[in-house]
Amino acid sequence: MAPGTVALEIKNRIGLLTLNQPENLNAMNEGMAAEFKEVIQGLKSTSEAKALVLTGAGRAFSAGGNLNLMKEMLGQDPAVYKGTIYGFYRSFLSIMELRIPTIAAINGPAMGAGACVALACDMRIASTESRIGFTFARIGLHPGMGAEYFLPRLVGRAKTCELLMTGDIIGADEALRIGLVNHVVPPEELMDRAMGLAERLAAMPTLTIRMLKESIDAAIASDLEATLNREAAYQGMCHLTDDMREGVQAMMEKRPPRFKDEY
């Protein structure tokens, strides 16, 4: 895809989606929202990518909502605002609709809505130079983009209250300590680490990874009995696949498995 406010490159079954407005720290606006959603819809309709890495161009992941856009919307009728901003949220959070694993490579500041989009990914790898902040309250704004949904699931209620009510900006090491990110690496290693993880995920059995993406989220929202029933059903489906036959045989022969690129 030709670079616009976002850019997509697919190589060796790995997609790299880049927020591409480095001149304003990849701040989010309506044009970016529309292009982002279009790219995600395209990825949903093809099997070309088996994993996706999301990052930002330049020195930031994303500064979050565009302040000029926010200023223009001041004083707007709340009902009209709700309809507009809800569509804006859904455009960026459409990344959650992908059936492939997603990894945020946080290369610099990730603020407000930008931080939330990183949390909407399945995994996060942060540069030591990155900073993360849910800074909505600092400008008198209630959080958006799913902040209250993602944060308690990752860091618990008390830490969520602290992060959202103070708007504190934390460094990569603190983000790792509280469970916001999976790994912290030097800036020069960030993309290699993110792409390496994506390659490992892409080499796994496609159906199993799709099931896991669905069932992990479902388990968070359900009880043990429902989870056990889902696990038993999904394991039964796996027993019908060539990939599981290959996985068992490879384990018995003490060799790497050769999974088929299917489903």
What average pLDDT does the segment 40-68 reach?
Answer: 93
List for the chain the helix, strand, coil content (%; round to 5).
55, 15, 30
223 pLDDT higher than 80:
yes
Strand partners, 131: 109, 171
Separation CA 197–CA 49 (nearest Å)? 14
Report whether 213 contacts 156 (CB < 8 A): no
Percent with pLDDT over 70 in the chain: 98
**CB atoms < 10 A from the CB of 180, how many?**
24
Q: How far is Cα of residue 111 from the mean position of the Cα atoms in its chain?
A: 14
The pTM (predicted TM-score) of the whole model is 0.93
pLDDT for position 198: 98
Dump pLDDT digits (tens) for 20-36.
999 999 999 999 999 99
**CB atoms < 10 A from the CB of 199, how many?**
14
pLDDT bin (cut points 50, 70, 90) of residue 111 is: very high
Cα atoms in the Cβ-side hemisphere of radius 13 Å centred on 127: 20
Kindly provide the residue ranges of all beta strands, DSSP E only, lying in 115-165, ordered along the sequence: 123-127, 131-133
In this structure, are strands 131-133 and 109-111 parallel, antiparallel, or unpaired?
parallel
Q: Where do the domains of the chain lie, and which CATH numbers do they carry?
A: 6-202 (3.90.226.10), 206-253 (1.10.12)
